[in-house]
Amino acid sequence: MRRIPLIFILVLCCWGGNKENISTVSNDTDIEVLFTRSDDPVLERIVSLLNSAQKSIYMAIYELDLPDVVKSLIDAKNRGVKVEVVMDDRMKGKWAAKKLLSEGIPVVFDDREPYMHNKFIIIDSAVVITGSANLKESSIYRNDNNVVIIRSRLIAENYIKEFEEMFKYKKFGALSPRNTDCCFKIGNYRIEIYFAPEDDAEGRMIRLINGARKSIKFAAFSFTDNELGGALIYAKKRGVNVIGIIERKSVKNRGSEYKKFMRNGITVFPDGNPYNMHSKYIIIDDSVVITGSYNFSRSAQRFNDENVLIIFSRRIAKEYSQNFKKIYEEAKL
């Protein structure tokens, strides 16, 4: 686990972004990256941040069953913190949703077939927790996941816009308006945020893959997106070193790109975790990381509610590369 101090934030619209908004503030901002199945205290860090909330907690979560998290949300509500939650409707009958509702915490469900697949929390309009991890015991202790914590009021405000679309206006999937900002510059670092399906996250990822010069490493719970797969194959054919790991249980799924990757010379392995390799990330030229809730699938691109976080940082890429090396070596056994 490593913290990266970042100072002087400039938010701008760029790279095919969503909404023009240029402003400059001075703020102490940092990015923290944690990985499950490591020494990183993932649950402890999330609970600590929830317990530190003074004004508000907004949570959009696909799955929740961790008692410590539920308790932290209830405790926050009882001490006067505004707590609001959005969940996929598959959580309706689960104990966690029932408990939150019984304690007076408002929960909005998406009430539709595609997933509300987001995993993000906004605390005090200043801290965003996102990544691939659901708030489940298996997600934290058995599956491979990544969690990103960003301290930035401007980025938090961007996530709040997306949260309010779902919680306040009940707009999900294709009904979501394209009203968030995409592109942030923090010191020497760039951060881009895209919400699917409205922001064409797939198109942005393809453009980044097409710009790769030396290497691409990817870890995928599911990979069925033909367009993304084609971009990786094209990168391989033009000389980029492309290697990947795909969750073992999904390599035989209908539409999986796994065999196509192998036929086109991409080094790709089914993962070695006996549970799930649930991360979804791409590392480009050891300097760009793409992560978030977004599986590399048609459903993520067209139907689900998802968020994609892109960080331009060699330091962050190094941390993800270290995690990739671990799961890659495990897959080769």
Catalytic residue among 285, 286, 318, 326: 285
Decide: 196 and 305 in contact? Cβ < 8 Å: yes
Catalytic residue among 217, 271, 278, 305: 278
Active site residue 285: yes
Q: What are phi and psi of 61, to 5 degrees?
A: -140, 130
Q: How many beta carbons lie within 10 A of that of residue 333, not counting itself?
A: 6
- Residue 30's beta-bridge partner residues? 5
Active site residue 278: yes
Q: How many beta carbons lie within 10 A of that of residue 20, not counting itself?
A: 10
> Hey, which bits of 115-205 come out as E strands?
119-123, 127-131, 146-151, 183-186, 189-196
Decide: 281 and 291 in contact? Cβ < 8 Å: yes
Decide: 287 and 312 in contact? Cβ < 8 Å: yes
Active site residue 318: no
Distance CA 43, CA 137 (A): 9
Q: How many beta carbons lie within 10 A of that of residue 98, not counting itself?
A: 13
CA Rg, the chain, in Å? 19
- How far is C-alpha 136 from the geometric centre of its chain's CA atoms? 15
Catalytic residue among 77, 217, 236, 280: 280
Distance CA 249, CA 274 (A): 10
Tokens representing residue 68 in the block: 């410590």
Q: Any idea which residues carry the catalytic annotation?
A: 278, 280, 285
